[in-house]
Structure 1
């Protein structure tokens, strides 16, 4: 029996405190405790019976939408047959089949799949395999990783060292040594080649080579980049950027890691976003949309080149996770990818991405909106204090809007999305891939109303 919204509100009174729950990335002093009770399609319901458009796919995860009973049924059937067994020296049918499916979908010879339970673990695995790979290849000094300023790559100690957000690291230092930063591709804030996108992209890519040479090419193992950078607000790659990065990595024998924890599985209209942006990585890290969030799963996918030295003698990659390749998670991921094929979700994103961008760009007439940028179903609206000068919000204004007013106001107005200021202040939207023009219009309408009110607080 499915409860109606009034029934849900009556049987589950709204919480007024966190109780024993320690929420992630949240102030425990926060007085508001939203409780989400169910989801269907592109919508969520809370314990007060309110319907809210899920404008962030949970956390860039729920590609196929909420409440897919066919996926739940697959999970139940797999759990009744084999609920758990590790892939430590053994295989399960779902894990083997999913590895085959991912290898077939990945570009080039990205043929070997190492399962994790999330994106941070996949990044951690990629750095560790890069270090061991070069030791096996007789280059033991190659251990450093280069990533971009403001980029987020996860919270484990290694992944956090690759993350380019100083404020996220301060409480946990010293971190794993070896992480170094280069400029990102935020063309809206460009100080070099601000009038030429392609030249700016070449300049940004060349900073990677500059960093490799500065650190010493014999010490650098990997460059880790997202196809579209999340933190800072959906920085897309300029034309020619990734071709130049690939050239630099090949020249200096450095592995190129495509961090597709957010960008894979249809977020940009392809199974892996590196395909859309025209480059061949040595390693892909992925998670989130692989199962549409129906069970936790992630993966590191490597080329034959990377796995080759591990194939001989007594060599082992001494690394793993208890729940990596979990049979229920793998089974539901296979069913989720079947839905992608049956419903043409990648094609849907490619067909609708222009309309989504055009709808969001209507917000550029608001004084508080400086830029709208993104790709596929992954967009950001940057907020400014002065549109003409691009002057950003100060610390007090960010506190008042990004952490104070906007999260609650947007939710109360019917939209769950992401106000964020880990770089410049933005509101990010990334709805489920089943969304269309009706949802785009609803997102724009709620953003317009809420941001108009927010501007009055500056």
Structure 2
């Protein structure tokens, strides 16, 4: 639609990119595909934004929203409850690892992360450790855009316009083994080193000042960094030793993205808090949650106790109804099992691209992969800013979409292409992705 730029301020968008051109406008979706306003079909290789896990066009989710809206369109959770929030909280608690039984609803992921930091601060004040307020997170990791979540985020370029931020954010190395040649061929040794960097950061800052460590099961920004073997188990030991909360930021990695309801389950570690959103409703209505252990709720159960935090649309009745219907789809169709059964084929199909000179690494788990692009596979030199700009924004982003694949070409770190399709995708979709990527990346190499 030609007037899209007249009034609509798009998110994370260079608005000057469309001075004379048309903004791509998506009008319909079905399964793993989307259609634009001209009727052209694209494979949704990113599930919208790591969101549409159950796939597009699920009429039962729309019907659940309509039914709930007619019954009770809105009521807040401020000293009141409504049936769908009660039911959904109970259902989520039945799926979480360990004693994560307390569900605090938000509107989305940034609010969930913000809530987790606020809870960590408030909890330690109530248990007699008021100086514990800082948080540790990883370099390049993305944790949200609100001021607290942005302070936890490890992407310097996203922060410049908004500094000074909330003090207390501490950064440690991420788990990009591809860029860690000093650790040789031992992912285990690399994982131990990366985890121990968290310990060293806590000790430098002073354990009595550090409240929490925020980690994604698979780090998104930078291009899908899975955890090395033993990494999370060592982090759990460190957090226990210094009385620091382990927050598993699963805004992306929950609800089947890694073949389990929660990424912590996949990698066998026990968080104190999980933050989640996106796939909880498969994007059919906005909803997020902070899920905390029973221990963290205890100081707030006194007669005058209160967690002085809340959001207007957290636990919205319509969104909760959609989430319940979405989880019904997961159970009925065993979407987690589908991912586990097909993830090896997905990986193998993408790894075919390693024969291209521009493809340096293919990494990820489940239905969540990053393809790192290189100028030289042997020396792995970094792209300059100008080269990255020319490669990603000047060519790849448009060329992939024009070829029929919606995905993400990202340079928050070294240039990568990220793939995170709806969980209903199968081999035909994997093959389609590989063929489009092969054609476009071959041309990209000729332009370098």
Conserved 8 A contact 1:162-1:179: yes
Partners in 1 of 2:293 and 2:229 — Cα distance?
Answer: 25
Q: Deviations over 1:131-185 (max 9, x none)?
A: 0000000000000000000000000000000000111101100000000000000
Q: Deviations over 1:390-438 (max 9, x none)?
A: 1232211111121221111111100000000101110000000000000
Partners in 1 of 2:385 and 2:432 — Cα distance?
Answer: 30
1:191: how far off? 4.3
Partners in 1 of 2:336 and 2:81 — Cα distance?
Answer: 30
Q: Deviations over 1:224-267 (max 9, x none)?
A: 00000000000000000000000000000000000000000000
Partners in 1 of 2:181 and 2:123 — Cα distance?
Answer: 37
| SS class of match (2:60) | helix
1:302-451 matches, within 5 Å, as 302-451=292-441
Partners in 2 of 1:457 and 1:17 — Cα distance?
Answer: 31
Query: Residue 39 of structure 1 corresponds to which residue in structure 2?
Result: 29
1:91-102 matches, within 5 Å, as 91-102=81-92
- Confirm or deny that 1:170 pairs with 2:170: no
The one of 243, 257, 263 aligned to 2:253: 263
1:19: how far off? 1.6
Query: Residue 207 of structure 2 corresponds to which residue in structure 1?
Result: 217
Partners in 1 of 2:236 and 2:174 — Cα distance?
Answer: 16
1:16: how far off? 6.5
Partners in 2 of 1:392 and 1:446 — Cα distance?
Answer: 25
With the length of structure 1 as denominator, give the TM-score of the two structures: 0.96
- Confirm or deny that 1:27 pairs with 2:14: yes
The one of 97, 103, 107 aligned to 2:93: 103
- Confirm or deny that 1:204 pairs with 2:194: yes
Q: Deviations over 1:198-232 (max 9, x none)?
A: 00000000000000000000000000000000000
Partners in 2 of 1:280 and 1:192 — Cα distance?
Answer: 30
Partners in 2 of 1:346 and 1:441 — Cα distance?
Answer: 21
1:192: how far off? 3.5
| SS class of match (2:183) | coil
- Confirm or deny that 1:88 pairs with 2:78: yes
| Pair 16,456 (structure 1): closer, same or farther in 2 beyond 3 Å | farther
Partners in 2 of 1:139 and 1:191 — Cα distance?
Answer: 40
Partners in 2 of 1:25 and 1:107 — Cα distance?
Answer: 34
Q: Deviations over 1:19-44 (max 9, x none)?
A: 20000000010125100011011000
The one of 105, 125, 132 aligned to 1:135: 125
Conserved 8 A contact 1:383-1:392: no
Partners in 2 of 1:17 and 1:98 — Cα distance?
Answer: 37
- Confirm or deny that 1:55 pairs with 2:45: yes
Query: Residue 271 of structure 2 corresponds to which residue in structure 1?
Result: 281
Partners in 2 of 1:311 and 1:354 — Cα distance?
Answer: 46
Partners in 1 of 2:4 and 2:323 — Cα distance?
Answer: 35
Partners in 2 of 1:321 and 1:191 — Cα distance?
Answer: 45
Conserved 8 A contact 1:263-1:273: yes
Conserved 8 A contact 1:386-1:392: no
Partners in 2 of 1:192 and 1:456 — Cα distance?
Answer: 31
Return structure 1 stretches of 4+ with deviation > 3 angstroms: none
Partners in 1 of 2:419 and 2:382 — Cα distance?
Answer: 20
| SS class of match (2:101) | strand
Task: Point out the more displaced range, 308-317 or 318-327.
Answer: 308-317
Partners in 2 of 1:173 and 1:186 — Cα distance?
Answer: 27
Conserved 8 A contact 1:187-1:194: no
Partners in 2 of 1:278 and 1:327 — Cα distance?
Answer: 33
Task: Point out the more displaced range, 175-184 or 28-37.
Answer: 28-37
| SS class of match (1:238) | coil
| SS class of match (2:7) | coil
- Confirm or deny that 1:65 pairs with 2:52: no
Conserved 8 A contact 1:291-1:297: yes
**How many residue pairs end up in the alignment?**
445
Conserved 8 A contact 1:15-1:35: no
Conserved 8 A contact 1:35-1:46: yes
